[in-house]
Amino acid sequence: MLAYAIKRLVQMAIVLWAVSVIVFLMMSFTGDPVFMVIPIDSTDAEIEQARRILGLDRSMPEQYWLFLQNLVQGDFGRSYVFRQPAMDLILERLPATLEIVVVAMLIAAVVAIPLGVYAGANPGKPLSRLIMSGSLVGISLPGFWVGMMLIFLFAVEWRLLPSSGRGDTVEVLGIETSLLTWDGWTHVVLPSVTLSLGTLAIILRITRAGMMEVMRQDYIKFARAKGASRKDVLYGHGLRNALIPVVTIFGLQIGDLIAFATITETIFAWPGMGKLLVDSIYRADRPVIVVYLMLVALIFVVINLVVDLVYTAIDPRITVK
C-alpha cells in the first residue's frame, strides 16, 4: 500500500511537471505580455526595462527555469489587470465555483440515480424508454444554450429568479457562501441546474447500465426468493453492486463540471474562477491563466487519486498492486 501511494505521488508530480511545461510553452505563444503592463506611450528604453523586470530578455530555458522556481514557491506573479497576486484572485473566487459545482453534483445524484435504477430494473417499460430518450437529449444539448433558455423563461418572461450575480453571501469560517441565505439560493438554482444537466444524463446512463448487468445475477434472484422487499432488492442488493462505476464517473465528472463552470459562470455572470479565466483570456492576463490551469491540474490529479482509492475501498475484489 505504501509503495503504491509513493508510486502514485511520483506520477502526480510528473503529470504536474508536464502540465507546467505545456502551460509555459503555450503562454509564450500568446504574444508579448510587455504591452499589457506598460502605458501605451512608453519609450523604447522603458519597454526594455519592463522586459528585464519580467525576465523576458532571457533565453527560453532560463525563463522556464525561473517560471518553475516561482511555481514551486507558490509565487505566480501579479495579475496584469488587477495588480494583485494572481493566486489570491483565483482563491478568492474558488468558493463561488465550488458552490455551483457541488450543488450541480447533488442535483445530478438525486435525480439521476433513482431514474437510472428504475430504467435499469425495468428495461422494457415505456417510462424507461422515455427516461433514456430524455437522457440522450440531455447529452445532446449545448449547456450554454440551456442556461440561456432558463434565463429567458425564469428571469425575463416569468420574473421568478434573478438572471445573474451571486446574491447575498454570509461568511462562514472565513469563506463567503451564498448557500445560507434565501437570496443566495435564488441565485444558485439556475446556474447549478444548467451545469448539472450533462452530468445528470451521464450518471443516469451509467447507473442504468450497471443495474441491467446486476439485475441478471443469481444473488438478485436469491434475494427475491427469500422474500426481500422490492425496494430492498433494488437498492440494497442491486444499486449497491452497480455503484462502483457510478462512483468513478462521479469523481471524474467533478473535473468536467469545473471546466464547464467557465461557460455557465459566463452566462450567469457568476463571480467564480471560471468567469475570471474567460475574462483573463480576453485580456491576455497571463499570470491568472497560469494559476487557473495549474490549480485545476492539481485538483484533477488529486481527484483521480481519490477515485482510485475509493474504488479499492468499496470493491474488495480490487486490490492495489
Partner 1 sequence: MGQILASQFVYNWRRNVSAIAGSAIILACVLIVLFGPLVAPQNPYDLTQLNLLDSYKPPAWIEGGDPRFLLGTDGQGRDVLSSILYGTRVSALIGIAAMLMACTIGTVLGLLAGFYGGRLDAFIMRVADVQLSFPSMLIALFLMSAFGTGIDKVLIALTLVGWVVYARTVRGSTLGEIQKEYVQAARVAGLRDAKIIRRHVLPNVLTPLIVIATVQVGTFILIEASLSFLGVGVPITQPSLGLLIKNGFDVLFSGLWWTSVFPGLMIMAMVFGINLFGDFLRDELNPRLK
> What residue ranges bind partner 1 (CB under 8 A)?
15, 18-19, 26-27, 29-30, 133, 136-137, 139-145, 148-149, 151-152, 156-157, 163, 255-256, 258-260, 262-263, 266-267, 277-278, 281-282, 289, 293, 296-297, 300-301, 304
In angstroms, give the least distance from the CB of 70 to partner 1.
20
Question: Residues 53, 58, 60, 62: what is their CA dihedral angle, to the nearest 10 degrees?
Answer: -90
In angstroms, give the least distance from the CB of 229 to partner 1.
31
Cβ closest to partner 1, residue 17 vs residue 65: 17
Cβ closest to partner 1, residue 233 vs residue 258: 258
Q: Which residues contact 313 (CB under 8 A, 6 or more apart)?
A: none
Closest CA to 74 of 290, 236, 318: 290
Cβ closest to partner 1, residue 102 vs residue 148: 148
Cβ closest to partner 1, residue 26 vs residue 106: 26
In angstroms, give the least distance from the CB of 142 to partner 1.
5
Cβ closest to partner 1, residue 164 vs residue 241: 164
What's the rounded Cα separation, in Å, for the pair 289 and 26? 11
Whether 93 and 273 have beta carbons less than 8 Å apart is answered as: yes
In angstroms, give the least distance from the CB of 304 to partner 1.
6
In angstroms, give the least distance from the CB of 163 to partner 1.
7
Whether 254 and 298 have beta carbons less than 8 Å apart is answered as: no
Q: Which residues contact 71 (CB under 8 A, 6 or more apart)?
A: 20, 294
In angstroms, give the least distance from the CB of 45 to partner 1.
30
Cβ closest to partner 1, residue 32 vs residue 46: 32
Cβ closest to partner 1, residue 18 vs residue 53: 18
What's the rounded Cα separation, in Å, for the pair 318 and 291? 36
- 61, amino acid identity: P
In angstroms, give the least distance from the CB of 102 to partner 1.
17
The strand pairing partners of 177, in sequence order, are 170
Residues 167-194 as b/e (b if ≥16 CB within 10 A, e otherwise) read eebeeeeeebbbeeeeebbbbbbbbbbb
Q: Which burial class, exposed, middle or buried, applies to 18 when counting CB atoms under 10 A from its CB (0-12, 13-18, 19+)? A: exposed
What's the rounded Cα separation, in Å, for the pair 297 and 302? 9
